[in-house]
Structure formats: structure tokens, C-alpha cells
Structure 1
């Protein structure tokens, strides 16, 4: 697939508005790191070491207290084991409107392109998406954020999009998807917060095997136990119902991560995640051998950001 013209447009359109901005910030960034994964996809069998290099840039501007524009572009090159690799482009554009002191409305759009070399995978790694040689996705929708109190924030988002998947050997699958999310975050103190989330997914494709409706929930915790060290954890379940073979999957996942500034503009990060998929109803023995499985990832790296106020 060719590089996305829209990604370049994000970097052209938003700086053009800087002349009207009260404040503008350009932030080049670079993330480098590596780790180990037990599989590239849940249900696959490819344990490997991996390396990631992700340069990017963010551009934010404010025309006053009511309107903000935020945009970003990142390119992530990843190496899996001795031979396989991937190249991911992702860009986002977000218009934030302050409707009142308590309520913000975001109008957001994002694009994502990933190409895999000598391997099939997916950007998410979960079992609800087809393994591809390359994919191109676009989605857009609103996010409503309501500050219920000084410590509690509620958020609701809707997104609709399309994804084109190149499965290799001339085969392809196109997806139309919609995602709705409701979440609530409460800050118990200056060092501890917790959140809950409900997620609804609907996916329709040109291959009925991947037509899916899903519901899921997640809980998350965040704590700053010492200085600028931040530790976050999460756990969730996603139930997916596939119409073609009347199969229902249960995907459970959990993760833990920590970040700590180690130098000016530089943060060290470490993360662990684990996911397990089980066919709980319907399907065939072939489905169970293909889609059941686990995936564990351990990763660490450095993130550098150099904000410039314009």
C-alpha cells in the first residue's frame, strides 16, 4: 500500500491555522525500545524478540479558551525475530470545543496504515481481526467529556470507520465498523485514580467469517507512589459473537506499566500485557485450534519529547 496522503495533509493543514492561534506548540518525539512477545497474534505460535523505533510529531494550537486543535503523526518501525518486520503510519486530528466549564466536545478523525514484511499480523494483535499482510483504516466521531466534579470525569465516544485488509495472495477483506465507549474516572487523591469502561463494537465485512458484534468492560488503576513515578494497571473482558459459524469468544486481558522521567524531556517506560481467547460457544474444532490461545508481551524503552512553543 502507498503512504497515506492524508497523513501528510495533517501536517500541512494544522500549521496553516497557527496564524490565528493564541498559543501553538510543535512537539517532535522519538520512542525506542524492545522486548519479547509469546506470539504476534492471539492464537498464533511465533514467540520472538522485538524492536520498535517510532519517530513522530504533534502540533497543538489554541485560538483561546474555547477552541483547540490537536494533531499528530507517528511512524513506527518494528522488527520481529530475525526476519519479520512491520511499518505503521498513524495520524490523528482533533478539534476540541469547550461547551461550558464542565463539558468539552472533541471532533476527532484518525488514519492508520500498517504493512507487514514476511509475516501476517494486525495492529491490535487480538483475535477479532483477520491477520493481514497490510491494512489501511480510517475512523471519525465525537467524544463528549463531562467533569462531574473536581475529581470525577465521565466520557462518551462514538466512532465509525472503514478498514481495508490485504490478506496476501490476492485475497482481501473490507470492514465497516462502529465503536461506542462509555467511561468514568475518579481521582481519589493526588496520587491515586480508578476508572471503569464499557465498550460496544459492531463489525461488518466482505467476508462473513469476520462479521462480529462485541461487548466488553475494563477497569483501570493509576498510582503515583513516589516522586514522578507513575504506575498503571488494567484488566478487561470482551465477548465477541461471530455470525458465520455462530461462535462466541471470550477474550480476557490484563496489563501493567510504569513510567518515570529520567532526564529533561526523556521518560523511561516499561510494560507487560497478557491476553487469552476462549471459544465459549459454537464453532468447530478447527475454530478452537485456530482462535483459542494466549499472548504475552514484555516491553521497555525510552520516550523523548522536545516541545517548542511557537
Structure 2
């Protein structure tokens, strides 16, 4: 009885905002990464992935050929239009997967992840310095809006992929919780780590379902520098990219410029490659 009274008094003193903290499992500690089975390969103090050169020089141009004809939109998430190659450079998920592990993820936009043993929910804490290219911080509101928008307005794939999420909650300025309705799918925490985070404030005045060739706002290591409608697109490295020194990014994204040249079919693309119009295919 005394314990219940003390708890009630504490809640009254701390305010309603403290309630979510009591709802969490006190035995769940935040970690830097997660694996589908067992522990991730890289420890909490890792400096970079094993397969990168942390001292790789920055600079230069990479030219790549695309033999699928054309593009007419910079929105890769809807069914409308043919999205340009390379748009993944603009956006980032909560967590990222290395190339030398099958089912592991490490924090990118999220600095940590909390998962109970039954994997019935997941909590992500966002990095305080995560920024969009316009300098605005990446927020919990951006994360929740991204999930809701992808499930309601994007390709049907996203509706299916994230259907296991029963509830989204803001727990604080940088903490977001997803509760799962499907407790049998133990992959759901990793699936949520793959959630691409989109800028809510940017899309507030734009039609998410429309095709567009207006260079979109992102948070990733590159942004669109220029393009020729349907024929080529050029990305430039973001010099003040917020995540450049994260262990998951050290030694990566070294080229200053990445260009994609479009060709109407594979035969034309191959001949262009032979003549030196681009570097690899």
C-alpha cells in the first residue's frame, strides 16, 4: 500500500510526462546495434566497418550508366512515375546494415535502440545532431509522420511491410516507441530500423503522391546538383553532412560527384561503356 502511495505521489510531482517511463521494462537497456539472432558483429566502440578504408581520400567523379530508358520523378516512394537512379543517397533510415553481416543493424539517425526480450515493441533515441540539408533537426515528429505517410500514401509495399506496427508514440524530444500487434514476427524491430525518415515540414506544402522534378530535401550524404530531364542526373557530396563522422559512415561516400547517364536500352548502354562515356555498369 505504501509503495502504491509513493508511486502515485512521484507521478503527481513529476507530471503526466513522466508516465511513459514507468511503462517501460526497466531491464531493457539502450544498445548501439541489433541482430536478428545473437549479437551484432561490431561492438559499441567500433570505429568503422572492416571493409572500408577509413583514410580513403575524398574527391573525384564517378559516372554510372543506367539502361532503363528515362526518369520523370524524384519521389521514389509512390507508384506514379519512374524515379531517378541514386535517390537513396538523399534519404536515411533510422539504422543501417553493413555489407559483411546478414541480419544486423547499427544506429544511423538513431543513436540507440531498446528492445525487450519478447520484441513486442522497440524504442529509438534519435541523435541530437541529426539534420536535414536545410539545417533543421530531424525530429520524432518526422519519424512518426514518415511511417504514417508511407503506410497511407506510398507504394503498397510499405503498407504491407509496416503493417505489424499497432501504435506509434513520442516518449520525449528524441525518443519514439513503436508497439507491435504481431508478436510472432521477431524481425519487426529490424524492419522499423529500416524506416526511411522524411522531412515533415518540407512535405507539408507539397503533394506527396505527385510526380516531381523539384530536387527534394533530404538528410543523406549527397544532394541533387543538376539534371537533364530524363537523360542524366548529378549528385554532389554534402560538405557539411551531419553524419560524416559516424562509425557507420567513416570511409564511405568519398566521391565528390556521382553522375548517372541514361540510355534507351542495354545495347546502347554497353556501347557507351566501351567508348568510355561512363566508368562502371
TM norm structure 1 = 0.26
Larger-gyration structure (1/2): 2
Bigger share in helix: 2
TM norm structure 2 = 0.28
